[in-house]
Amino acid sequence: MKTVDVCLSPDLIHLYDVSDKVVVVVDILRATSCMTAGLAYGVKSITPFENLEQCQKMKGNGYLIAGERNGQKVEGFDLGNSPFDYMDEKVKGKKVAVTTTNGTVAIEKSRRAIEVIIGSFLNISAVAAHVKKQQQNVLILCAGWKGKVNLEDSLFAGALVDKIIDKFEFECDAPLLAHSTYLHMKDDMLSRVQNSSHAKRLNKLNVTKDIEYCLTEDEFDIVPRLVNGELVIS
Ligand code: MLT
């Protein structure tokens, strides 16, 4: 039987062999939610960068540049890191280069995987169907916060495990932990996540509606994949 595992923080990735796995990268608040919404709203491709200066340079190559640090839009960038920024007409058909505090770090640490896909609540059923169809073992990589475990990504991991549990067995206890946490909190996830450290951080920055939107399930039937360094729908 295929196995599923969960890496609760990118700082633990050295404990996992990604080379023979499909990695689902998740950063609910807000990077992977933005990437999913952006591609669904017609962005041509999204190129993730860990390094801010390298991302900024892409402006010169005709890219829109997007990003945040500590939840705040990077000064001079075209877009911040709100899913609503990606719903603007100006992004349709465009190539976007993005850098975020945690989400793009997690993607960078997954590059040696057989396949890297983007997970969010916005496309969770599409991701579940995709990983069920393919033959490899799966690792769900939570972006967390600066190396620390966070609630919202762990809840997503538990929710995804819940959708694929009939076809996968647990590689170790992290999927069991994430799944149990999800089963315990699934009936009032919004209020639970509102109480999370990053939701509080965003609220202090007057970012509120993003949180509820990023917890919306199955807005889009798409699975963004990393192809030659770019996230696309294929
Ligand atoms: C991140 O990558 O840390 C997040 O996406 C941050 C945010 O958008 O608030």
Residues 92 and 36 sit within 8 Å (Cβ to Cβ): no
Tokens linked to 127? 């991701």
Ligand 1 atom with the smallest distance to the CA of 201 is: 9
Query: 114 vs 102, 134, 207, 208, 225, CA distance in Å?
Result: 21, 11, 36, 36, 11
Cβ burial 170-196 (10 Å sphere, 16+ → b, else e) = bbeebbebbbebbeebeeebeebbbeb
Per-residue pLDDT tens over the stretch 185-232? 999 999 999 999 999 999 999 999 999 999 999 999 999 999 999 999
What is the 166 CA–ligand 1 centroid distance (Å)? Answer: 32
Which residue in 14, 24, 45, 76 sits closest to 227, CA to CA? Answer: 45
Ligand 1 pocket test, candidate residues 81, 202, 210, most atoms within 8 A of CB: 81
Ligand 1 atom with the smallest distance to the CA of 207 is: 9
What is the 203 CA–ligand 1 centroid distance (Å)? Answer: 13
Tokens linked to 148? 């620390």
Per-residue pLDDT tens over the stretch 23-45? 999 999 999 999 999 999 999 99
Q: Could you tell me how far CA 191 lies from the centroid of its own chain?
A: 20
Cα Rg of the chain (Å, integer): 16
The C-alpha atoms of residue 197 and residue 192 are separated, in whole angstroms, by 11
CB of 68 shorter than 6 A to ligand 1: yes
Q: What is the pLDDT of residue 30?
A: 98
Ligand 1 atom with the smallest distance to the CA of 198 is: 9
Per-residue pLDDT tens over the stretch 103-134? 999 999 999 999 999 999 999 999 999 999 99
Share of residues in the chain with pLDDT > 70 (%): 100
Tell me the H-state helices in 14-68.
31-40, 52-57
- On average, the pLDDT of the chain sits at 97
CB of 102 shorter than 6 A to ligand 1: yes
CB of 152 shorter than 6 A to ligand 1: no
In the numeric block, the tokens 């990735």 are attached to: 13
Nearest CA to ligand 1 atom 6: 71
In this structure, what are the phi and psi dihedrals at residue 144, rounded to the nearest 5 degrees? 60, -155
Handedness of CA 169, 175, 180, 185 (dihedral sign): negative
Q: Could you tell me how far CA 53 lies from the centroid of its own chain?
A: 22
Per-residue pLDDT tens over the stretch 60-104? 999 999 999 999 999 999 999 999 999 999 999 999 999 999 999
Per-residue pLDDT tens over the stretch 160-180? 999 999 999 999 999 999 999
By CB neighbour count within 10 A (0-12 exposed, 13-18 middle, 19+ buried), where does 105 fall? buried
Ligand 1 atom with the smallest distance to the CA of 27 is: 5
Ligand 1 atom with the smallest distance to the CA of 104 is: 2
What is the 94 CA–ligand 1 centroid distance (Å)? Answer: 21
126-146 average pLDDT score: 98
With 90 as the cut, is the pLDDT of residue 234 above it? no
Tokens linked to 152? 């919202």
Q: Which helix (H) or strand (E) holds 69?
A: strand 64-69
CB of 78 shorter than 6 A to ligand 1: no
